[in-house]
Amino acid sequence: MTRCLVTGATGYIGGRLVPELLKAGHEVRCMARSAPHLRDQTWRDRVEVAEADATDPVATRAALSGVEAAYYLIHTMGSGRDFAARDRRAARTFAAAAKEAGVRRIVYLGGLTPGDRPERMSAHMRSRAEVEHILLASGVPVVALRASVIIGSGSVSFEMLRHLTERLPAMTTPKWVATRTQPIAIRDVLRYLVGALDVPPEVSRGFDIGGPDVLTYADMMRGYAAVAGLPPRLIIPVPLLTTRLSSLWVGLVTPVPAGVARPLVESLREEAVCHEHDIARYIPDPPGGLMGFPQAVRMALHRIKEAGVATRWSSASTPGAPSDPLPTDPGWAGGSLYADERSARVDAPPEALWRVIEGIGGEHGWYSLPVAWEARGLLDRFAGGVGLRRGRRDPRRLRVGDALDFWRVEEIEPGRLLRLRAEMRLPGFAWLELSCREEEGRTVYGQRAIFHPRGLLGHLYWWGVYPLHGLIFGSMARNVARAAAAEPRAGTAA
pLDDT band at 286 (very low <50, low <70, confident <90, very high): very high
User: Is a pLDDT exceeding 60 seen at residue 54?
Assistant: yes
pLDDT in tens, 111-157: 887 765 556 677 778 888 899 999 999 999 999 999 999 999 888 88
pLDDT band at 291 (very low <50, low <70, confident <90, very high): very high
Residue with the bigger pLDDT between 371 and 367: it is 367
Q: Which residues make up the CATH 3.40.50.720 domain(s) of the chain?
A: 3-296
pLDDT at 380: 73
User: Is a pLDDT exceeding 60 seen at residue 311?
Assistant: no
- Average pLDDT on 190-209 reads 96
Residue with the bigger pLDDT between 168 and 323: it is 168
Kindly tell me the number of DSSP H helices and DSSP E strands found in the chain. 14, 19
pLDDT at 245: 65
pLDDT at 317: 33
Q: Which residues make up the CATH 3.30.530.20 domain(s) of the chain?
A: 338-485
Question: What distances in angstroms separate CA 437 from CA 22, 353, 432, one per listed residue?
Answer: 35, 9, 17
> Exposure string (b/e) for 163-177, b if CB count within 10 Å is 16 or more?
bbbbbbeebebbebb
> Exposure string (b/e) for 31-49, b if CB count within 10 Å is 16 or more?
bbeeeeebeebebeeebeb
CATH of 3-296, one of 3.40.50.720, 1.25.40.10, 3.40.50.1100, 3.30.750.200: 3.40.50.720
Rounded to 10°, the helix 293-305/186-195 angle is: 110
pLDDT in tens, 230-273: 888 888 777 666 656 666 666 667 766 666 767 777 777 788 89
pLDDT at 324: 57
Q: What is the CATH number of domain 338-485?
A: 3.30.530.20
